[in-house]
Amino acid sequence: MAYRIAIASTDGIVVNQHFGHAERFHIIEIDDEKKTYDYIGTRESERVCQGHYHHDSSFDKVINVLSDVHAVLVAKIGQGASQQLESRGLTVYEAPFPIEPLIEKIIKEKLWEVDKWRYPTKN
């Protein structure tokens, strides 16, 4: 099975965007059998955060853009936005670090062995 991760980044090298300010997400796909990953593409989206509040319609548009994604890597995310994403089945990683080592860590720690990226299936 393949897992897709959306990365909030301006340059595709470092996770450097707050979820609400991201206007694009870089999508990678992990192949759990081969333990490899590939860059799928970059998707443009509408900013969710407009000052100090979120527009529900903008949030829905971002969710639509990420409809086939299992997890999101962001530099920062507010509690409300994080809860919204999680309630729609996405796992949120707040990790303002270089992308490649993060993806390698996800592969090394076999996070795809987690049921819906949340509940451990192994001890």
Domain boundaries, the chain: 2-120
Query: Are the C-beta atoms of 37 and 102 separated by less than 8 Å?
Result: no
* Distances from the Cα of 10 to the Cα of 49, 87, 115, 123, angstroms: 16, 26, 30, 37
Q: Mean pLDDT across the chain, nearest whole number?
A: 86
2-120: CATH superfamily: Dinitrogenase iron-molybdenum cofactor biosynthesis domain (3.30.420.130)
pLDDT bin (cut points 50, 70, 90) of residue 30 is very high
pLDDT of residue 47 exceeding 90, the answer is no
Going across the sheet that includes 24-31, the strands are 36-44, 24-31, 2-8, 71-74, 91-94
What SS3 state is found at 4?
strand
pLDDT at res. 87: 87
